Amino acid sequence: MEVPGQALPVLQQSISVQKQPGKTGVLIVNLGTPDSPSVPDVRKYLREFLMDGRVIDIPVVSRTFLVNGIIAPFRAPKSAKVYGEVWTANGSPLKYYGEVVERELQKALGDDYVVKLAMRYQNPSIDAGLSAFQQLGLTEIIVIPFFPQYASASTGSVYEKVMEIVGKWQVIPQIRFTNRFSDHPKFIEGFVRLGRKYLAQEDYDHVLFSYHGLPERQILKGDVTGKVCKLGDCCDSLHAMNQYCYRAQCFDTTRRLVKELGIPEGKYTTCFQSRLGKNPWIQPYTDDVIPQLAKKGVKSVLAFSPAFVADCLETIIEVGVEYKELFEKHGGEHWQLVESLNDSPIWIETLVDLVKRTA
Percent of the chain with pLDDT over 90: 92
Confidence of residue 358 (pLDDT cuts 50, 70, 90): low
Q: Where are the domains of the chain?
A: 24-180+345-356, 185-337
Q: Which top CATH class is 24-180+345-356?
A: alpha beta
Three-state secondary structure string covering the chain = CCCCCCCCCCCCCCCCCCCCCCCEEEEEEEEECCCCCCHHHHHHHHHHHHCCCCCCCCCHHHHHHHHHHHHHHHHHHHHHHHHHHHCECCECHHHHHHHHHHHHHHHHHCCCEEEEEEEEECCCEHHHHHHHHHCCCCCEEEEEECCCCCCHHHHHHHHHHHHHHHCCCCCCCEEEECCCCCCCHHHHHHHHHHHHHHHCCCCCCEEEEEEECCEHHHHHHCCCCCCCCCCCHHHHCCCCCCCCCHHHHHHHHHHHHHHHHCCCCCCEEEEEECCCCCCCECCCEHHHHHHHHHHCCCCEEEEECCCCCCCCHHHHHHHHHHHHHHHHHCCCCEEEECCCCCCCHHHHHHHHHHHHHHC
For the entire predicted model, the pTM comes to 0.92
Mean pLDDT in the chain? 94
Over 50: is that where the pLDDT of 232 sits? yes
Which residue ranges make up the annotated binding site for Fe(2+)? 212, 314
Q: Is the CATH code 3.40.50.150 the one for domain 185-337?
A: no
Over 90: is that where the pLDDT of 16 sits? no
Q: Is-same-fold flag (24-180+345-356; 185-337)?
A: yes
Which residue ranges make up the annotated binding site? 212, 314
pLDDT of amino acid 357: 85
Per-residue pLDDT tens over the stretch 279-293: 999 999 999 999 999
